[in-house]
Amino acid sequence: MNNSEIFNEYTAHWMSRVESMNHSVILISGGIMSITIGAFLTSNPPLLDPWAASVIRSAWVLLALSLASAVLLKFFLVISGALTLTELEGKTTKGEEGVANSPRWLRVVAWCFGITAVSACLVGFTLIAIGAGSLLAVG
């Protein structure tokens, strides 16, 4: 197996892990938002003190940011794949060997969205737990 084949195989496995993590972020953020928003849109929502309400509101904003960042990450990964495929097609038609890659700026943007998605999900999840804890302290 030559270096290009090793690189391409590693990249495929790495992308699979990125996709799996991104799906987890979408599932966790979306699930938490659905459950907690559903709890507050009932006919008799739980009573929250102003501090807990602001904590949960902040959590929703962060979870929404996480979802948006995860979707944008997927979008940029699709663009990256398309550009890489175009470069690879060009190399193939010219009979060149080597590794095709997306532009550096695109990889940087994707990293930023990925880091934002995971960070916002974790902080939002933590804030929801804190807000829920305040409900248990009152009840």
User: What is the residue-level pLDDT of the chain in tens, covering all 139 positions?
Assistant: 777 777 778 877 888 898 999 999 999 999 999 988 887 777 777 777 889 889 999 999 999 999 999 999 999 999 988 888 888 787 777 777 767 778 899 999 999 999 999 999 999 999 999 988 887 765 5
pTM comes to 0.82
Residue length of the chain: 139
Least Cα distance to 29 among 77, 72, 68, 85 occurs for 68
Cβ contacts of 102 within 8 Å, gap of 6 or more: 79, 80, 81, 83, 84
